[in-house]
A and B are shown apart, each in its own frame.
Chain A
Amino acid sequence: MKTVELKSLVYRWSDQSDPVLSIDNFNLDAGECVFVKGPSGSGKTTLLSAIAGVIDVPQGSVRVAGSDIGALVGGDRDRFRVDHLGIVFQVFNLLPWLSALENTLLPCRFSARRRDKAGSDPKAAATRLLRELGLEDAGLINRPASALSVGQQQRVAVARALIGAPEVVLADEPTSALDEETKETFVQLLLKECRASGASLLFVSHDGSLERRFDRSIELPMLNKGNS
């Protein structure tokens, strides 16, 4: 089963003549953890946006969990995104005035599917996820997220991406604000939790040192025949 299928995906920003993305074929299998690397400006973030349904892609070019993203319109894409995808950003993943726990539970607010999959008690599921990610202190997870360190914030973001077991987790350079040691443990935790929940992971980074922990690694410029 493939969770992400890209077929003849061509995308160019409206003010550009050359397409940023021009991908013939790319598949992400269920439960597969893939490392995506490429120089700055090569279109890594654009690729994730295409998969997340944030940018308009041609019909039939992007399928996630069996659905054609390009065929979804308006709010359907947003609902689809929260139903099937978990997203971790580079920095500032959390709403600072919500607690770590509330931030983790955000997808359950917007998606009945995620809420149902999180079990009878989403709160307990969130607490368990946070504990597994090293945030066990009850005081800590109930404090506003602005009181957390950057490393802790990124771990809360992982918990949020994984709650309710979405098919795919997209992570856009989530380690760039972390120091070497934290980075290692963070990636280990991320991979462990993705495997535990069976989610596929698309991890974007230009830090090649993390590459070896993944099932597979791709270079975007290689994939992107339009750029090469």
Chain B
Amino acid sequence: MFDLCLKSLLNRRFVAMLTVLSIALSVALIVGVERLRAEARAGFANSASGIDLIIAARGNDVQILMATIFGVGSTGAGISWDSYEMIEELPQISWTVPIMMGDNHRGYPVIGTSEYYFEHFRHSGGQQLVFAEGVPFKSPEGAVIGAKVAQAFGYTTGTEIVNAHGSGEIAFDVHDEAPFTVTGVLGHTGTAVDRMVFVSLEGFDALHKEPASKVADPFVMVDAPEAAEEHEDHDTAHSHKADHADSEFTDEHVKHGESHGHDDDHAQHSDPDEHDHGGHDHEPATINAIFAGLEEKTAVLSIQRQLADHRDEALTAVLPNVALLQLWSITRTAETALRLMAGAVAMAGIIGMVVMLSASLDNRRREFAILRSVGATPAGVFSLILLEAVLLLSAGIVLGVIALSVLTLLIDPILAANFGLRIGVGLPSVREVLLIALVFCSGLLASIIPALRVYRMTLSDGLSVRL
């Protein structure tokens, strides 16, 4: 019966191939969407582990999370070094890592931070960052690069790199004058860290400190620490105190996401010698965010209250996990839309198969009459149609999974480079297997319709084919 079915299908190979293709497409799409969704979630969740709080100028939790953890977009205004020191000294805080951002190296975000970053950052369920080669930066000229950055440009320890302004592929101006030397390359993590470049706070400042004249921005002026209030100003970009007549232009700049700046004036700093914090030999005027660890997780509320009371600056303490939940609620609509679409395509594929099976029935009445004359029961003919559906569905599913694997192999590097997402070509997850099973079962269920028609047809036709 099986080879009869196969040969009969081969006889209609063109339509059968089309049907298999459409099923393959729907399977690839439905599984692909699921895999992308699951990996995005897992990747995001992995990236934020180990950090109890992210503190930044008052702003949207999700935006702060995206900017600091994933290097996408930027935080609002900067926060002053004074605030950093204030937070560092809170009794509930066990550790802090300052974060400066807004620059990129050939499209990869540059993060100004301290070497404690490498100690405290956790990924993929609590793993620490490891150095594939080299060591953390010790001097302002040192840089540590993520695995993807090293891979993309072939950098190793000792390579001299030059930074450019702005986040995004297009460099606004290249800072030839502030080269860095790679001191270490991080091991692969599968998170956004892989595509980041880390330099010291001083090194980050050095990017912009140099000649203000070279920066082609007339509005770059003194950036006072207390400038950061609640306003839509972007990053530490253009001084809020810029001439009012020019503010319109400034806003324009902001909208384009251009984040020039960090032109902090060290002479301006209130009192650089007043505090003495072992590790921080350099004190920038403003930083963008602070990663913090807590002595006790339960201290979150009291910290949030204290920050709210902090008079000098409006600050937000983001709980990464809570912000992630918010992110999911934002993306849920898009996810649902995607899944609905994938489901609709799968349904179209199945309907296509039912149409193909049904349309062929009239042409095949002769075939069924012959089969019955040699002893095939109506039930046998019924199962012949179901068997055909099984063959078409199985071929479609196998082809779809293969196509998806090939496709992921191809786009994995692109996704990883641009979004820090790694899909990978692993075995399908339980959910994916369930989805495939769902496609299979609904296909089989739908093919009962033509099979029933055949059943009734063969009963009434008997051995002669009636018009």
Contact = CB atoms under 8 A, between A and B. Distances in A.
Interface of A: 45, 48-49, 52, 54-55, 74-75, 78-79, 81-83, 87, 89, 92-98, 106-107, 109-111, 160, 172
Given A54-B463, A95-B367, A97-B10, A87 B375 contact: no
A74 B372 CA distance: 12
A70 B11 CA distance: 37
A97 B11 contact: yes
A81 B11 CA distance: 27
Interface residues of B, number: 23
Contact of A93 (B1, B4, B370): B370
A160 B379 contact: no
A106 B463 contact: no
B370 A94 contact: yes
Contacts of A93: 370
A98 B373 contact: no
B464 A78 contact: no
Contact of A87 (B7, B367, B378, B463): B463
The list of the 3 closest CB pairs from A to B, nearest first, reads: A82-B375, A110-B375, A54-B462
B375 A81 contact: yes
Nearest to B464: A45
Contacts of A96: 11
A107 B464 CA distance: 18
A75 B1 CA distance: 16
Given A49-B464, A74-B377, A96-B11, 8 more contacts: A78-B377, A78-B378, A82-B374, A89-B463, A92-B366, A106-B371, A107-B375, A172-B464
Nearest to A102: B7
Interface string B193-230: 00000000000000000000000000000000000000
Contacts of B374: 82, 87, 106-107, 109-110, 160
B44 to A, nearest CB: 53
B462 A55 contact: yes
Interface string B1-15: 100100110110000
Contacts of A107: 374-375
Contacts of B351: none
A97 B375 contact: no
Nearest to B6: A97
B3 to A, nearest CB: 9
B376 interface: yes
A54 B4 CA distance: 22
A75 B463 contact: no
A75 B379 contact: yes
Contacts of A78: 372, 375-378, 380
B375 A49 contact: no
Contacts of A74: 377, 379
Contacts of A52: 373, 462-463
Contacts of B462: 49, 52, 54-55
Nearest to A94: B370
A203 to B, nearest CB: 16
26 contacts: A45-B464, A48-B463, A49-B464, A52-B462, A52-B463, A54-B372, A74-B377, A74-B379, A75-B378, A78-B375, A78-B376, A78-B380, A79-B377, A81-B373, A81-B375, A82-B375, A87-B373, A87-B374, A92-B370, A106-B374, A107-B374, A109-B374, A110-B374, A111-B375, A160-B374, A172-B464
A75 B370 CA distance: 16
Contacts of A97: 7-8, 10-11
A33 B463 CA distance: 22
A110 B370 contact: no
Contact of A89 (B10, B371, B373, B376): B373
Nearest to B369: A89
Interface string B441-467: 000000000000000000000111000
A87 to B, nearest CB: 4
Contacts of B367: 95
Nearest to B381: A78
A81 B380 CA distance: 14
Nearest to A160: B374
A55 B463 CA distance: 9
A131 to B, nearest CB: 21
A54 B462 CA distance: 5
B204 to A, nearest CB: 73
Interface in B358-412: 366-367, 369-380
